[in-house]
Amino acid sequence: MTLSLTINGTRYDIASDPDTPLVFVLRDELKLKGTKLGCGLEQCGACAVMVDGKVVLSCVSPVEVFESQEITTIEGIADTEIGQRVQQAFVAETAAQCGYCTSGLVVAAAALLSDDPAPDSDATKEALTPHLCRCGSHPRVLRAIERAATT
Ligand code: FES
Ligand code: FES
């Protein structure tokens, strides 16, 4: 049986085993390298993608779970007006340092603003809680989200 996935609006037939975690299919099979692998244990947020509009960590769940869902990776995030605004705000606030956590944070911010166009700081901090940044970029990330919410 061929597994297929819808990613950033494109349908892909997948050759990987159905129990392969999604992040490996994205990065290794489809060469969508923007999604990062960090801990591999759903503990750092680096591998976040959007699935049917919600943030999902892609490093543990098997790819077969996502077959009938719409996946958006960082490569497709700027296809929406909100995603574009978030991306531009991250650039304007220099919210990335090494950048390893940034894809996951941009995905999380876009999902947050899609649900709540003007989140208060508690809601923003809660949305960012699963996302670790070893470079300490969170203050700039918070400013970027504030900028994206108000521009
Ligand atoms: S790599 Fe998935 S949460 Fe860390
Ligand atoms: S910018 Fe380096 S881990 Fe976040």
Select from 47, 73, 99 the last residue of a domain: 73
Are residues 101 and 145 part of one domain?
Answer: yes
The number of domains in the chain is 2
Indicate whether 96 pLDDT > 80. yes
Could you tell me the distance, in angstroms and rounded to a whole number, from the CA of residue 28 to the centre of ligand 1? 16
Are residues 94 and 129 part of one domain?
Answer: yes
Q: Whose CA is nearest to atom 3 of ligand 2?
A: 133
The Cα–Cα gap between 31 and 105 comes to 20
Are residues 103 and 67 part of one domain?
Answer: no
Q: pLDDT tens, 13-52?
A: 999 999 999 999 999 999 999 999 999 999 999 999 999 9
**Residue 150 binned pLDDT confidence (cut-offs 50, 70, 90):** confident
Q: pLDDT tens, 107-131?
A: 999 999 999 999 999 999 999 999 9
Indicate whether 63 pLDDT > 80. yes
Per-residue pLDDT, averaged over 49-57, amounts to 97
Q: Whose CA is nearest to atom 2 of ligand 2?
A: 98
**pLDDT of amino acid 151:** 63
Select from 73, 99, 119 the last residue of a domain: 73
Q: Is the pTM of this model over 0.85?
A: yes
Strand partners of residue 62: 21
Are residues 83 and 48 part of one domain?
Answer: no
Residue ranges making up the domain that contains 23:
3-73
**pLDDT of amino acid 2:** 85
**pLDDT of amino acid 136:** 95
Are residues 38 and 87 part of one domain?
Answer: no
The set of protein residues with a Cβ atom below 6 angstroms from ligand 2 is: 96-102, 133-135, 137
Q: Among all ligands shown, which has an atom nearest to the Cα of 133?
A: 2
